[in-house]
Amino acid sequence: MKVDRRSFLGLGIGAVAGIAISPVGAKLTDDFSIWTQNWPWTPVPPDGEVSYDRTVCHLCPGACGISVRKIDGRPVKIEGLDPYPVNNGGVCLHGIAGLQYLYDPSRVKSPMKKVNNRFVPISWDEALTMVADRLGELRNDQKPDTLACITGSDQGSVPGLFKHFMAAFGSPNYLTMPDLESWLVRTAKTLHGDAYTLGFDIDHSDFILSFGAGLIDGWGSPVACIQTMGNRRQRQATLVQIEPRLSNTAASANQWIPINPGTEADLAMGMCAVLLKENLFDPVFAQGFKGGFMRFTAMVQKEYPLDKVAGVTGISAADIQKTAVAFAKAKMPVALPGKGRGEGAQNLKEFAAVHTLNCLSGNVNKQGGTFVKPLPKYLNFPDPVQDAVALKGAAAAPLAGSVQELVTRIDKSGESPVKALLVYNANPCFALNDPSRIRAAFEKIPFKVCVTSFMDETAMVSDVILPVSTFLERMEDVPSKAGLAATVVGLSKPMIKPVFNTRSPGDVVIGMARALGGDMAKNFAWDSYDACLEQVTARIWGPLVRKGHVVLSENLPAGSVETDFEFLAQNPETVKPAGDLEFTLIPIDYFRVPPTVPAPSPFAIKTVSDRILKGTDMFVEINPQSAKNLKDGGFATLTTPAGSVPVRVHFNDGIMPGVIGMVKGLGHTLDNKYVSGKGVNINALISPKIEPDSGMDAAFGIKAGISKA
Amino acid sequence: MIHDKKAHKYGMVIDLDKCTGCGTCAVSCMSENNVPFKEDESDKKDSITWMRVYRLTNNKPFPDTEVAFLPRPCQHCGGKGDHGHSPCVSVCPATATDYGYDTGIVSQIYTRCFGCRYCMAACPYHARYFNWWDPVWPEGMEKYLSPNVSPRMRGVVEKCSFCYHRYQLAREKAYASGSDEIPEADYQTACTTACPAGAIVFGDLNNPSHKVHQIVKPDPHPDPLNPDVVGKSRNPKVFRLLERLGTNPKVYYMSEREWVRKLGDHYLDGEWDKVKNVYGSASHE
Amino acid sequence: MDAALIPEGAKRCSFPKFMLGIAIVGAVLLWGVYAMLLCWFKGLNQTNMNDYYGFALWIWADLAVIAVGGGAFFTGLLKYIFKIDELKNIINFAVIIGFICYSSALLILAIDIGQPLRGWFIFWHANVHSMLTEVAFCLSCYFAVLTIEFIPNILENRQLNKVPFFHHLAHNMHGVMAIFAATGAFLSFFHQGSLGGVAGVMYGRPFAFREGLLIWPWSFFLFTWSAAAFGPCFTLLVTRITEGVTGKKLVKDNVVHLLAKISGWMIFTYMIAKIIDTWYWAYYTAPGLGFELSHFYTSNGFYGYWILVAEVIVCGVIPGLLLINKSTRENPTFRLVAIVLAVIGVCLNRWVMVLQIMAVPVMPFDTWALYIPSWQEVATTILPVAYGIILIAVAYRYLPVFPQELELNRRSEVRES
């Protein structure tokens, strides 16, 4: 057949028309639309059998019971566990976001060693051998006390194992990070003697006098506190919140009393003076007052008269008087120390002065009051077998009472007195004041081992990283801390097999000891951490496994306590914000940014207000009355004696004029684009200031200047 | 198919005096509903937060400043006269969002939405979010995704569903147990169960035995002052957001504080004092 | 080179010069196409739109081109239904402009939606309550009508017209064009209106919401009216520009004056309606919802009362009056000022009814949302302009668009010689 132009055209048109009316078009369109509904790069979560498992969260001292929903064993959701004595079904955003930590981009996936300033993955055997070799040298050199260890907290069996390790090794240099619990223990020690801690029965109290305690901003056991605050109005309990800034807690309080930053201790002393002067203290409880009560009484009358305190704190004398009297006359008053979350740089004078109010009120070891309770003793570690080297080392004087003091020691010595450092569950290179100084001191330590789940700021300066499983991947006892009235020990259990090549921190300690061999290995003869846990918690192991938790003390602590006024009677000096600039910069504890370890989850960062963080810009809060030529939302330079950073300004009527507030916990530099490089770490702007009596850093704020950028 | 015999009207009441602004509801929602996240979420105008917590202030200078927080899920509007013509449902050209007359829940069919965003323009609560990006999880993190809610693809609108999948599960459970009644505790949204302050109460506004009904005491009759408004609360402390528009949300708010209640809607000068004590009439009981 | 295609007797510039012009505009077009492809393949994150600004520059461009494209249906209506015969001299051009505007609108919509491949769901899963459904149906149908209206003009090309079939087809299509014009007018009435309805029905947005008649908010009728009023101005403006570019008179003054006069009266009456609508909305609708007028025009960095004055007075009442008044209407300068202001006015109206709606805070604790379009949005918005210029250039060069061109220019040539 001859194909001419005409037939070709005809054929073409015919074909087009044919295809157009055939189902091909409709079919292709349909296929196309189905494809757009199932793009292969959008994940389709596999379905499966649903199960629920229970465990305990240990992202913060709160120790909430949580329930994990799983699909074919794969955790998909965390919820609050009900009933559970701490949180009764409640939960917080960080706990819910716990699953994100399993797959966090900054997780350490296998043991690492630093080679030429870069981390290279190694095997567990190599890592443990390397650690054992380096630590073994210290013992061979008869200098075991040059090993220091920093852990996040000192309660529970894992810190117990680290302590056991240090004792067997022969070093007294075991330090913890300054969390609320450590401050409470220190306060109890100062006023009541060793091995006590404080608990606050705010659940039943009818008058809560909070010296900046962020009861709904993350103080104590956050969920428990929020729940208590949730039903506070129904109970008709009064909350008086004293702090320089209208925190969320202050906003929800019956009364907010703004106070000049850093003068809380003076106010508490002034209130003590009022109670003593007006004879508003409990005479029965006062029978237990020892050590310098008379001198204390005389001192506060002399040094803290109303007018003077009013001048210092910026609160009217009438208000101080009225509040003190209301506190004393309440049926079940409780005074709470610990600004914000109550962790980090606080000061002993303030804690002691506030707790003295509790003591004067007599509402100690009574319902709705303050519990002076013995530290939980559910762990029974065998006594460490110390060889001659260990005995000598352990008897040496500790280098420091706090991490900051230790850093100062290293800073001031040409050669570091610490030759090796173990860090577990702590991130001092981010969380403490002036982190660059801490980093520099750590650099001087020849060998640093970081036992961590995440490549955080401290891990980055270490030489060996021993990666540990997250709380969802391991078994561990979790004692409740942080000012709860009851003491609850929960058992966290693995919800999922470790996602990466990680181990439980207990197994890491046991592994290090075994690798060291000799007496060290003998002290850690357990097959595994799980076996160790069962042994050291033998007294409560049965119910712990059966119920998932054990309540150690629920009732009022028995027996009377003595109160020693010696410390306060000397009128220790109040640590004031350093510098002479116009403003005072204070850290803001913001619930949506977790305090220290781990860094925020992507979900938590997502909830952060755009008036705190915008892009990578950090906002500071300032009262428009003292803002001068600054503009709301505008750029400014914030300067303190410790440094200078660009910030943006957020006008907040709820902050005292003359005060600048900056959210704490941002400005991470770890390898996680969802949380890193965002904002400024306020700690970098504050130089530590050691309180002589506690040896702790007490620089809660610092003087600052701000000018238009 | 399992059908309910009764028409429910699910809704919630949020106690703003209890809300601490902690953000747990928002994260619980993200975790429950596979909401994605991206490197920068600080631009709140493109950050998908089905539940968003707003900060309210009384705008008074120091020291009289007060602050409150207002969590805002989708309001599941019943629309003018509560007939189901929600602002968004009535405008969607492709029926990708629909009003459930048996539940009062405004649904969103992600696979049908073609991304015209008319619903977003129509929603005064900004409860609707567009997937400007493909959702991407860091490597391995997609393992925590729940199969109950399908992850959305780029180019579609999403929003709070009152955890509709939880309703489906509760309904199936009730059906399996031979009951046509869904117990109050069996269907609760992820934000409600997570709220540590217990500020959120969720349930069936039509069911007098449910706590939400007892708190809200919704007036089933139109408001005599504005016939578009149905379901006004008879509790003087309870209000709805932008009630005057006649959107008839099923999310109610509660506060003892007058300035907070006043911030729920717009009032001309002097109007508030006239209407602040006007609420659903008791005579309609 | 392409002389065989150029209408008989018409003078056109040289082919290389023509191609140079096309190439320059084509480069802009390609820039737009590149941006368009970015939006399609990478998604709408290429824009600066956000969850507050779901409707932004594109939707404005869409509404604006449809409004100014209204000249096609209205001129058609006048010509074929009201039998105003002089308008046959401009109807071809009005149809081409309409065709460009409507095809652009469809293209913009295809870029604007998040899932372009599912765009047809609007027909497949149509929700009859949605104004956008009405828009989609009427827009598509009317685009088909415009294509049909455009076809005879294409077939009149010198070479195509030599094919007897095409010749007769074109002739017969002209004969039945009244039916299509009527259909087009009917469809236009609804889709122009439903575009107004898009904003007017949003009762959650007091700035947009309008009460109305039955299911139609007042903005429905105002949009139809304004498209009919301002569309012819755009036809006249483009005609004037084409005359400027070609350096020739293409349409006789009496035709221009007639269309300008009709447009003037339409604008004038529209403005009365618009003012009544604005007044009713400002004094009854919005306050009834708790909003003072000032809420919509203060406390932000852009939207002040100026925009209301600009739209209603400067670009509404003034051009209306200029076109009603015979002396100003027939004065080329005043007329040009009037039609330019009028075109700006209708575009401003569409801007307000799309973007300002998005910007105004509704929740009492919310804030104004302002946005600046990304270059991708700007490029894709300029894309239809470039496409329009090219289509007009090609049509003018090869099709007998202006029936009076030869007559007008022969005369001028005679006068010159």
Q: Would you place residue A291 in the very low, low, confident or very high pLDDT band (cuts 50, 70, 90)?
A: confident
Task: Provide the pLDDT for residue C180.
Answer: 86
Residue A548 predicted with pLDDT over 60: yes
Look at A6-10, A280-284, A656-660, B49-53 and tell me which has the smallest mean pLDDT: A6-10
pLDDT digits (tens, 9 = 90+) for C163-175: 888 888 888 888 8
**Helices A348-361 and A180-192 meet at what angle, rounded to 10?**
60
Contact across the interface for C51 and B129, Cβ inside 8 Å: yes
Residue A552 has pLDDT above 90, yes or no: no
Tokens at residue A296, please?
């204390």
Partners of chain A (3+ Cβ pairs below 8 A): B, C
Instruction: Give the β-pairing of A74-80 and A447-452.
Output: unpaired
Q: Determine the average pLDDT of the residues in C11-31.
A: 94
Contacts of C115 in chain A (CB under 8 A): 36
Lowest-pLDDT range, A234-243, B272-281, C398-407? B272-281
Mean pLDDT of chain B: 93
Give the pLDDT score at C5. 87
C417 touches A: beta carbon within 8 Å: no
The closest alpha carbon to B44, from B55, B33, B34, belongs to: B55
Q: Residue A361: pLDDT above 90? A: yes
Residues with Cβ within 8 Å of residue C288, at least 6 apart in sequence: B244
Percent of chain B clearing pLDDT 90 (strictly above) = 89
Q: Determine whether the interchain pair B65/A654 forms a contact, defined as Cβ–Cβ distance below 8 Å.
A: yes
Is a pLDDT exceeding 50 seen at residue A273? yes
User: For C210-269, how does the pLDDT look when each residue is reduced to its tens digit (9 = 90+)?
Assistant: 999 888 899 999 999 999 999 999 999 999 999 999 998 999 999 999 999 999 999 999
Query: What is the mean pLDDT of the segment spanning B209-224?
Result: 93
At A161, which amino acid appears? L
pLDDT at C277: 96
Between A20 and C45, residue with greater pLDDT? C45
Percentage above 70 pLDDT, chain A: 99
The pLDDT value recorded for residue A286 is: 86
> Which of B110-114, C34-38, C153-157 shows the lowest mean pLDDT across its residues?
C153-157
Predicted local distance difference test score (pLDDT) of residue C416: 41
Best residue in B95, B223, B228, B248 for a mutation probing chain C (most C CBs within 10 Å)? B95
**pLDDT recorded at residue C417:** 37
**Subunit contact A32:C117, Cβ cutoff 8 A:** yes
What's the pLDDT at B285? 43
Task: Give the nearest partner residue to A90 out of B47, B63, B196, using CB atoms.
Answer: B196
Please tell me the distance from the alpha carbon of residue C315 to that of residue C340, in angstroms, as a whole number: 9
Quote the pLDDT of residue B283: 42
Give yes or no for C213 touching A (CB within 8 A): no
| Stretch 99-138 of chain C: residues touching chain A, C-beta under 8 Å | 115, 117-118, 120-121
Residues 243-282 of C with CB under 8 A from B: none
Instruction: Name which of B22, B69, B153 is nearest A39 (Cβ-Cβ).
Output: B153
For A408-421, what is the mean pLDDT? 94
Angstroms from B159 CA to nearest CA on chain A:
16
Give the model confidence (pLDDT) of B80-105 as tens digits.
999 999 999 999 999 999 999 999 99
Give the number of other Cβ atoms within 10 Å of residue C286's Cβ: 20
Distance from the C118 Cα atom to the nearest Cα atom in chain A, whole angstroms = 6
pLDDT value of residue B35: 97
Dump pLDDT digits (tens) for A58-110.
999 889 999 999 999 999 999 999 999 999 999 999 999 999 999 999 999 99
Sign for the CA dihedral angle at B79, B81, B83, B85 comes to negative
HEC secondary structure over chain C: CCHHHCCCCCCCCCHHHHHHHHHHHHHHHHHHHHHHHHHHHHCHHHCCCCCCCCCCHHHHHHHHHHHHCHHHHHHHHHHHHCCCHHHHHHHHHHHHHHHHHHHHHHHHHHHHCCCHHHCCHHHHCCCCCCHHHHHHHHHHHHHHHHHHHHHHHHHCCCCHHHCHHHHHHHHHHHHHHHHHHHHHHHHHHHHHHHHHHHHHCCCCCCCCCCCEECCEEHHHHHHHHHHHHHHHHHHHHHHHHHHHHHCCCCCCHHHHHHHHHHHHHHHHHHHHHHHHHHHHHHHHHHHHCCCCCHHHHCCCCCCCHHHHHHHHHHHHHHHHHHHHCHHHHCCHHHHHHHHHHHHHHHHHHHHHHHHHHHHCCCCCCCCCCCCCCCHHHHHHHHHHHHHHHHHHHHHHHHCCCCCCHHHHHHHHHHHHC
Contact B132 C121 (CB under 8 A): no
pLDDT for the residue C241:
94
Percent of chain C exceeding pLDDT 90 equals 69
Q: What pLDDT is recorded for position B281?
A: 62
pLDDT bucket at A287, cuts 50 / 70 / 90: confident
End-to-end CA distance of chain A: 84
User: How close does chain B come to C183, measured CA to CA in Å?
Assistant: 23
Chain-wide mean pLDDT for chain C? 91
**What pLDDT is attached to residue B280?**
65
Provide the shortest C-alpha distance from residue C381 to chain B (in Å): 17
Chain C residues whose beta carbon lies within 8 Å of the beta carbon of residue B263: 364-365
Which residue from A91, A605, A652 is facing B41, i.e. has the nearest CB? A605
The pLDDT, as a whole number, for residue A202 is: 94
The predicted model scores a pTM of: 0.94
What is the per-residue pLDDT for C411? 55
Query: From the candidates B20, B38, B108, B237, which should be mutated to test the interface with A, based on the most A CB atoms within 10 A?
Result: B20
CB neighbour list of residue C82: distance below 8 Å, 6 or more residues apart: none
**Cβ contact, residue pair A103, B143, below 8 Å:** yes
Cα distance from N-terminal residue to C-terminal residue, chain B: 35
Continuous segment of H or E residues that includes residue A267: helix A264-277
Residue A1 has pLDDT above 60, yes or no: no
C363 touches chain A (CB under 8 A): no
pLDDT-derived band at B65 (thresholds 50, 70, 90) equals very high
Burial category of C51 from C-beta neighbours within 10 Å (exposed 0-12, middle 13-18, buried 19 and up)? buried
pLDDT band at B284 (very low <50, low <70, confident <90, very high): very low
Coil, helix or strand at residue A458: helix
Mean residue pLDDT of chain A comes to 93
pLDDT for res C414: 47
Beta-ladder partners of A424: A151, A451
**pLDDT value for C8:** 82
> pLDDT for C107-125, tens place per residue?
999 999 999 988 889 998 9
pLDDT surpassing 60 at residue A365? yes
What amino acid is encoded at C382 in this protein? I
Predicted confidence (pLDDT) per residue in A215-225, tens digit: 999 999 999 99
Question: What is the torsional sign of CA C273, C279, C282, C288?
Answer: negative
> At residue C412, does pLDDT exceed 60?
no
Average pLDDT estimate for A233-242: 94
